[in-house]
Amino acid sequence: MQLAGRLTLAGLNALLITRGAQYQALSTAPLHLHHPQGTDQVQIAVANSPEAARLTRNDILVVATKTQDVEQVVTQWAWQPLEGDTSGAPGALAADLPIVILQNGTAAEDIARRRFSQVISVASIVPVSYLEPGHVTSRAAPKNGYFQLGRLTGASLPTDDTLAQIAGDFEAAGFVTRIRDNITARKYEKLLFNATNAVDVFEGTADERRALTAALTAETRAILSAAGVNLDLGAPDVDIAVELGTNRVPAGNTNSAAQRSTWQSFARGKPSEVDYLNGDIVLLARQHGLDAPLNARVQRLLGLAQTLGEAPQTRHIRDVLLKD
């Protein structure tokens, strides 16, 4: 929603595909974008199905769901005809369009790549919360977020011109954007941070949170290193603290605005990305004959918590750090 709203405010054509309460809210009222300077309201174009979108050959798809929903999304969209052309010829299906993958973790790109030939991978930092239909709360200012994007390893598409167009649109919408040659390494760099998202969901003292965060980071870094992932990406060329200022919470908002996406999923009673964050590290470890016990325990406990419909802070950090 944040991206669709910001693109629209920048004067760019954007259509948000959504359903349920979100669709109802945005069909009848503007999107409210809350941020440290105030609130922007924007009436965005919405549709509730691929058929209603009426895709053209000039469109670019952006997948902004959680990773666990990507399979369903790309299956539903890939084989949609463009401009009424049902020949199935090259260039006649949505699968021929560029598709931008915004998900955390590293699994979504391969899911999309099975069907789409022009996959753009993005490592994103967009500190927002969404707990109410039609409302998005951002902690970022002066910029709205940070996108690093690029082609996947071995891919010749999309073209440089397409990457530049997408980067330019994101920049126009207020997102710091860089095109990277080594985008998969950037995604793993982001996963090193995202593996600690789950800490928010557990109850514990500040010291316990720091301890679990440090332990998860160390284990995740060790697994990535053992798997041959190079995290030595050189000096950063973007000062995130200056561009995003992510410690600021809009006036009048509660602490929920500062919680990360995994906590938000549990707070809304929705499936979380844990299987594709901590689970990504567990998978990588197993593929290399290693163990990732802390990430595995986080995945197990939060998988069980989701199955039981537990709210955030039901389980304690001590349950994760418990030695067998």
Q: Which amino acid is at 241?
A: A
The burial class, CB within 10 Å (0-12 / 13-18 / 19+), for 185 is buried
* pLDDT value at residue 241: 86
Buried b (16+ CB within 10 A) or exposed e, 186-211: bbbbbbbebbbbbbbbbebeeebbeb
The structure's pTM equals 0.94
Residue 251 has pLDDT above 60, yes or no: no
* pLDDT value at residue 291: 98
Q: How many CB atoms lie within 10 A of CB 56?
A: 10
For a pLDDT cut of 90, what percent of the chain falls above it? 90
Q: How many CB atoms lie within 10 A of CB 42?
A: 16
Mean pLDDT over 148-164 rounds to: 96
Query: What is the tally of structural domains in the chain?
Result: 1
Please identify which residue in the block is written with the tokens 């470890």.
Answer: 285
Give 63-112 pLDDT, tens digit per residue.
Answer: 999 999 999 999 999 999 999 999 999 999 999 999 999 999 999 999 99
In the DSSP assignment, the letter for residue 194 is H
Domain hosting 231: range is 2-321
Give 274-290 pLDDT, tens digit per residue.
Answer: 999 999 999 999 999 99
SS3 (DSSP) at 4: helix
Closest CA to 209 of 316, 91, 50, 311: 316
Residue 322 has pLDDT above 90, yes or no: no
Q: How many CB atoms lie within 10 A of CB 313?
A: 14
* pLDDT value at residue 234: 87
Q: Angle at Cα 316 formed by Cα 221 and Cα 287, nearest 5°?
A: 30
Residue 246 has pLDDT above 70, yes or no: no
CATH of the domain at 205: 3.40.50.720
Helices (H), the chain: 2-9, 20-28, 50-53, 70-78, 108-113, 160-172, 183-194, 206-226, 240-243, 261-267, 274-287, 293-307, 317-321
